[in-house]
Structure 1
């Protein structure tokens, strides 16, 4: 009898074991990522992150807490944005100038259907903030991220 045919190659078994371990680690990382970590609420980007999350989920009361006192005065009757859970917001840049700041975001909206499957549309927008009583508050936002907490009644 030939003893070499009945014994498995140990090197091959070690390589298969390493590949299996790497695959398990990769899956654990993918499934444990969840939502992005919240940015510091004392920063303009942190305020925009929380405001955008509230807008996307349709929570106007929470979104309104991040507005400056003058922001509702800027709303027009058609400015109300419906909730859109097909939208993803990505921070592009933040510029701070004393008591004002601009946060540029990329808004990606995904649409179902179409001949070739889902499609998406990217647009950039600027959220302007002002420091009020030591806290950053939103003064204006792109129409996709607009909330008017007190709707204007027109006759």
Structure 2
């Protein structure tokens, strides 16, 4: 009965206000989101998380087997780039060592060595690499220089040794007489 009295007391202008109050957002039921939108958002979230994991867990390249031509070139290159010429010399053949005159690569800081391919035979192998050298500066920002090169390897006493290294990474330990 009270509801009848309340309805009777409304004047014509009040009916519109009462109707607006009834349809206000606070009293309206919550709309359900489209499930396709939720699926797309979930997929995008997963892609972003996977991308972040890949970026932050990438580290050093996986070492190749030390008994392979590629593994020998990888270890030799790492030793040269680290400045350990004596360790690098351990990967060279006797002939390559005898041709050394105590030379060191002029620039090893910003060189990246990428394995392109390996051709392995019974007693020799060729390891093709791309050497990328980065230089700072210049009017257009940093520069890169890329060159393809080949390491020639021989099998000596069942172990791979470098007979000819890339000129950019060629080293030879200093002779005893050159050391003060």
Contact 1:56 1:85 in 2 (8 A): yes
Structure 2 gap ranges (5+): 1-22
| Distance across 1 between alignment mates of 2:39 and 2:52 | 20
Give the match for residue 45 of structure 1. Answer: 70
| Distance across 2 between alignment mates of 1:84 and 1:10 | 57
Which structure has more relative contact order (CA 8 Å, sep 6+)? It is 1
Contact 1:128 1:140 in 2 (8 A): yes
Bigger Cα Rg: 2
TM-score, normalised by the number of residues in structure 2: 0.76
Residues 76-126 of structure 1, C-alpha deviation per residue, up to 9 Å, x if partnerless? 45x321451211111122122321111111100010111111110011111
**1:98 corresponds to 2:130:** no
Residues 38-57 of structure 1, C-alpha deviation per residue, up to 9 Å, x if partnerless? 11111101100111111112
| Distance across 2 between alignment mates of 1:14 and 1:94 | 46
| Distance across 2 between alignment mates of 1:66 and 1:83 | 20
Give the match for residue 67 of structure 1. Answer: 92
**1:148 corresponds to 2:172:** yes
Structure 1 gap ranges (5+): none
**1:112 corresponds to 2:147:** no
Q: Which runs of 4+ in 1 moved over 6 A?
A: none
> What secondary structure does 1:70 align onto?
helix
Contact 1:58 1:82 in 2 (8 A): no
RMSD between superposed Cα atoms in Å: 1.8
How many matched pairs?
Answer: 150
| Distance across 2 between alignment mates of 1:61 and 1:75 | 12
More strand by share: 1
Contact 1:81 1:145 in 2 (8 A): yes
